[in-house]
Amino acid sequence: MTDNTHTSLQVEKKFFTFAEPPDEMVLDSGARLGPITLAYETLGTLNEDKSNGVLILHACSGDSHVAGYYSGEDKRPGWWDSMVGPGKPVDTNRYFVICSNILGSCMGTTGPTSVNPKTGKPYGFDFPMVTIKDMVKAQKHLMDHLGIDKIMSMMGGSVGGMQVLRWCVDYPEMVRSAIPIATTTRHSAQAIAFNEVARQAIMTDPNWRGGNYYDGQGPDHGLAVARMIGHVTYLSDDSMRSKFGRRLQNRSTLSYDFNGDFEVESYLRHQGSKFVARFDANSLLYITKASDYFDLERGDGNLLVNDKLAGVRFLVISFSSDWLYPTYQSKAIVAALKKNGSDVSFCEIDARWGHDAFLMPNVQMDKIISGFLDRISREC
């Protein structure tokens, strides 16, 4: 990346506050929450009739910083900089991109780390349980604030894909097109199991203290282990074999101790340590639980089988090596949508990097998304 690219796409973290008492937002659980602040980022220019909006929904531990740099001194751009920007697949010369941080996070949006107005202290474990539906409801308030009543397209991978589907179910009249990537309509028992092991790693750390640790040492070890567990699910056997194999870390022989002989051990410990430096343990508990609760097939049938979705155009993308949300789960999304007569395109991309493949630069994905958005834009 050239210095010119670094300095040309400057972005700013913005904040929107709503649901001031006594008009708190009613959550899925029945609890009331307010005030609520959403951190968000916009790139590009909203056109006169406000028809070029593209909403990007981030994954579990992501944030609103989707692309570009906050300053010329930043060493790293936003998390999807390869996808979003001038002349990129989500071209900010043509589209107005919005990305907001999800409810329950710790990256600027109201969550367990936020101050509870009733106590003057961080919510901690007094923060109410939130769901994917609640996250989308909060985003709807942001769209109203921006004056956007019809979103040209929305896209997201993993938990972001869940939000895309929830948007389509709850506010179909606002969605022209949707791109759910590497996602599912509901967690499998295996996905729930991995999340529960990660949560137990945090909650059994003695420094967790029932979620009220903000006045001292937090559950750093438990959070690091939780991230290590999660990171394994984001990769694939092929990618780990290619990247690490059984290579030793800075040694030529086995140590015969537990300090970590293998490169993969060192890598996971490093990922855990990095995560502790940027994320909150309680937020991870709440967000993983929200993803476990997500279920579009509960009750009277698949919520995607809905005549109101017939006018929404879909592009569903999966990856061949994703074993967290395998391709059969994306095909189930496609099958449900076709029952409505929806315009649905589907592509399984051959990629070796597992679930995280949607975050990696990929020429095929770039072309598919760019072409789909161009088609929708011309129709609009």
Share of the chain above pLDDT 90, in %: 93
Q: Which residues pair with 178 in a beta bridge?
A: 154, 314
Residues with catalytic roles: 158, 322, 355
Residues 331-351, mean pLDDT to the nearest whole number: 96
Beta pairing class for 36-43 and 96-100: antiparallel
Give the three-state DSSP class for 157.
strand
- The DSSP code for 344 is E
Give the three-state DSSP class for 370.
helix
Among the residue ranges 20-29, 78-87, 264-273, 292-301, the one predicted with the least confidence is 292-301
Residues 20-34, mean pLDDT to the nearest whole number: 98
Closest Cα partner for 11 from 60, 63, 47, 89? 63
**pLDDT at residue 306 greater than cutoff 80:** yes
All structural domains of the chain: 3-187+294-379 (3.40.50.1820), 192-289 (1.10.1740.110)
Alpha carbon distance 195, 203 (integer Å): 12
Residues 343-368, mean pLDDT to the nearest whole number: 97
**pLDDT at residue 121 greater than cutoff 50:** yes
Alpha carbon distance 55, 136 (integer Å): 11
Alpha carbon distance 56, 59 (integer Å): 10
Beta pairing class for 313-319 and 153-157: unpaired
Look up the pTM and report it.
0.96
